[in-house]
Amino acid sequence: MTNPNDRALPRAVRQAMPMARDVVEEVAKLHGVCIRPVPLRRLDTHTGQWELVDVPCGSTLEAKCPPCAKRNRQLRITQCREGWHLDHEPVITPDEPTDDQRWLVEFRADLQARRDEAEQLGEDTADWDAAIEGVDAEINEAGMRGNVLGRTAAKRVRSTRRRQDAPDLPKRKMTNTTLGRTFAAPDGKVYRPSLFVTLTLPSYGKVRDGVPLDPDTYDYARAARDALHFSKLVDRFVQNLRRVAGYDVQYFATVEPQQRLAPHLHMAIRGTLPRAELKQIIAATYHQVWWPPADDVRFDGDHFPVWQDGVGYLDPDTGEVLPTWEQALDQLDADPDAEPLHVVRFGQQHNIQSVLADTPAAGKWLGYLTKYLTKSLADPLDATAHSTARREHAARLIEALRAEPCSPTCANWLRYGIQPKNAKPGMLPGRCRGKAHKPDHLGYAGRRVLVSRKWSNKTLAEHKQDRRTWVLEALGQPDQTPDPHRYVWKPVPAGDANVPPLATRLLRSIRDRQRWRAHLQQLEAQNLSATRSAA
Ligand SMILES: [Zn+2]
Ligand SMILES: [Zn+2]
């Protein structure tokens, strides 16, 4: 345990020590220190020493603590600004994996091991799966392509009928560029306009201040399904956009909650299209969900299918084996009159703005795009001004989501008499642990920030490196590229006795942060006086 009399600790921290851990957390937040650090073991190959290092949660999992979320938001703002009006083609070359990427991969391997262990013990693996999904996304974000295992699940060959119909839209010949058109004014000045677009989902009933006027007629089931499949709709929109625009359109988008708690999309698009064409694309874009029928509830209350080892789930009354996920899909294929379970489209409300680089308007939309990045989708609920009516509205939506299958592996399929994909014992409808059902997500389990690959020509890790270079330059220090092979990372097993309590680790990080700040200030002062004497 850290000694409270240790003079190296800042006074504010020493005073905080006898207090509860949440106070230490508050102090950490004030200093911008991560409050949910991930402990890792690191071998310094230059010195041969192993040490325990805390890595900010912000560089690992998708769910970030508030200080990490804040830092991350700043990086996202930079990333968005740099790509919006890019005037040269980005060059994409695979780089040497950086330290960051290397340990992400090892962290991923560890998660996989723990997940497999849980599975062997017959435990629920949903939390591990969610964590793995988050890390996979981070790995891609860190600039590596593909997935770590180097294999993808065999894709099911779909019948022609279950393929998505292509909407009726004009189609331009594809040109090999990611840049938008430029326009020259009579005075010779060249303009490079880009777009800011907001897309919403349709109406489910009249709302005032985010609350349905008539909750009984508000279409919660549709709202739930639309939210569940929103990310697919966004994918379709991008496909259609590229097809019509005739170039490799790049975008930076964020998914945010509306007051009525439906997800909506803000998108910065590089380059421009005629407004009428864009409207046409928005209206024509849809996504068909080719899942088995889930409208007639077959099992409910306490009356659920039962598991039999080696067989699967059975009808509790007749003992008949329920169709597996694959069989249910085959049935869909075989039925010429089959309809998709759901079709999701955008709503009538949208906003299309033309934006020029470095204008106040560009700054305003940039603020819009990143405004909610530090919040969860359900956060509008926390505001004190919100009435019971809003909370009840949220509760009804969450209830509707509880009944909907969120994915092929969702336990809710049992309610509709179908065995979920990868069925295993202990599945209970209404108890699926998929992210989409959680009150924090309100049906949307996708990523909050969507950035196309050739947006700013840089990964988030590279933007981080830029910031470092900038600080060093401002301080007049040489920027030595760190040796990417210097460290070897190893995960720390859960419950490792060598990891000190969280409060102790937070106090250390706060102290390090303060020392680092003092050091920077010192360098800054030296640099300033050096510049003065040179002049
Ligand atoms: Zn953090
Ligand atoms: Zn589910």
Question: Separation of 95 CA from ligand 1 center, angstroms?
Answer: 27
Question: Separation of 34 CA from ligand 1 center, angstroms?
Answer: 4
Q: Is the pLDDT of residue 210 over 90?
A: no
DSSP string of 52-81, one letter each residue:
EEEEPGGGT-SS--HHHHHHHHHHHHHHHH
Note residues around ion ligand 2 (Cβ under 5 angstroms). Answer: 406, 410, 432, 434
User: Chain-wide mean pLDDT for the chain?
Assistant: 81
Q: Which of 20-29, 208-217, 222-231 has the lowest mean pLDDT?
A: 20-29
Question: Separation of 115 CA from ligand 1 center, angstroms?
Answer: 23
Question: Separation of 434 CA from ligand 2 center, angstroms?
Answer: 5
Question: Separation of 36 CA from ligand 1 center, angstroms?
Answer: 5
Question: Separation of 56 CA from ligand 1 center, angstroms?
Answer: 5
Reference 207, options 259, 256, 257; nearest CA is: 259
Residue 310's pLDDT band (cuts 50, 70, 90): very high
Question: Separation of 416 CA from ligand 2 center, angstroms?
Answer: 13
Question: Could you tell me whether strands 449-451 and 251-257 are parallel, antiparallel, or unpaired per DSSP bridges?
Answer: antiparallel
Question: Separation of 489 CA from ligand 1 center, angstroms?
Answer: 19
Q: Convert 370-381 into a string of H (helix), E (strand) and C (coil).
A: HCCCCCCCCHHH
Number of Cβ within a 10 Å radius of residue 312:
16
**Ligand of minimum distance to the alpha carbon of 29:** 1
pLDDT tens, 322-360?
Answer: 999 999 999 998 888 888 999 999 999 999 999 988 788
State how far the alpha carbon of 272 is from the alpha carbons of 86, 246, 357, in Å.
Answer: 13, 11, 13
**Ligand of minimum distance to the alpha carbon of 445:** 2
Query: Three-class SS of residue 414?
Result: helix
Mean pLDDT of 96-103: 54
Question: Separation of 423 CA from ligand 1 center, angstroms?
Answer: 35
Question: Separation of 278 CA from ligand 2 center, angstroms?
Answer: 34
Residue 379: its pLDDT value, please? 63
C-alpha triplet 276, 280, 281: angle, nearest 5°: 120
Question: Separation of 73 CA from ligand 1 center, angstroms?
Answer: 13
Q: Is the pLDDT of residue 318 over 90?
A: yes
Indicate left, alpha or beta for 205 from its phi (over 0: left) and psi (-120 to 50: alpha): left
Q: Is the pLDDT of residue 16 over 50?
A: no
Q: Is the pLDDT of residue 216 over 90?
A: yes
| Single pTM value for the model | 0.76
Residue 1: its pLDDT value, please? 41
**Ligand of minimum distance to the alpha carbon of 63:** 1
Residue 136: its pLDDT value, please? 64
Amino acid at 19: M
What distance in Å separates the CA atoms of residue 376 and residue 373, rounded to the nearest whole number? 8
Mean pLDDT of 144-165: 47
* Phi–psi pair at 365, nearest 5 degrees: -70, -35
Residue 380's pLDDT band (cuts 50, 70, 90): low
**Ligand of minimum distance to the alpha carbon of 509:** 1
DSSP string of 204-259, one letter each residue:
SS-EETTEES-TTTS-HHHHHHHHHTHHHHHHHHHHHHHHHH-S---EEEEEEE-T
pLDDT tens, 455-508?
Answer: 887 766 677 777 666 666 666 666 666 666 777 777 777 778 888 888 888 888
What distance in Å separates the CA atoms of residue 381 and residue 379, rounded to the nearest whole number? 5
What distance in Å separates the CA atoms of residue 427 and residue 304, rounded to the nearest whole number? 10
State how far the alpha carbon of 506 is from the alpha carbons of 26, 70, 75, 312, 500, in Å.
Answer: 10, 18, 23, 48, 10
Q: 38 - beta bridge partners? A: 55
Question: Separation of 332 CA from ligand 2 center, angstroms?
Answer: 21
Question: Separation of 235 CA from ligand 2 center, angstroms?
Answer: 21
Look up tokens 């509860």; give the residue. Answer: 20
What distance in Å separates the CA atoms of residue 268 and residue 287, rounded to the nearest whole number? 22
Q: Which of 89-93, 138-142, 449-453, 524-528 has the lowest mean pLDDT?
A: 138-142
Residue 361's pLDDT band (cuts 50, 70, 90): confident
Question: Separation of 450 CA from ligand 1 center, angstroms?
Answer: 21
Residue 496: its pLDDT value, please? 82
Are the CB atoms for 377 and 439 separated by under 8 Å? no
Q: Is the pLDDT of residue 156 over 60?
A: no
**Ligand of minimum distance to the alpha carbon of 61:** 1
What distance in Å separates the CA atoms of residue 61 and residue 133, rounded to the nearest whole number? 9
- Residue 320 exposure: Cα atoms within 13 Å on the Cβ side: 6
Question: Separation of 406 CA from ligand 2 center, angstroms?
Answer: 4
In which element (H, E) is residue 33 found?
none
pLDDT tens, 398-457?
Answer: 999 999 999 999 999 999 999 999 999 999 999 998 989 998 889 998 888 898 988 887
Q: Calculate the CA dihedral of residues 375, 378, 379, 380 and round it to 10 degrees.
A: 130
Residue 151: its pLDDT value, please? 39
What distance in Å separates the CA atoms of residue 267 and residue 198, rounded to the nearest whole number? 6
Question: Separation of 523 CA from ligand 1 center, angstroms?
Answer: 27
- The Cα diameter of the chain in Å comes to 93
Question: Separation of 58 CA from ligand 1 center, angstroms?
Answer: 5
Question: Separation of 513 CA from ligand 1 center, angstroms?
Answer: 14
Percentages helix, strand, coil for the chain, rounded to the nearest 5?
Answer: 40, 15, 45
Residue 376: its pLDDT value, please? 63
Q: 265 - beta bridge partners? A: 199, 255
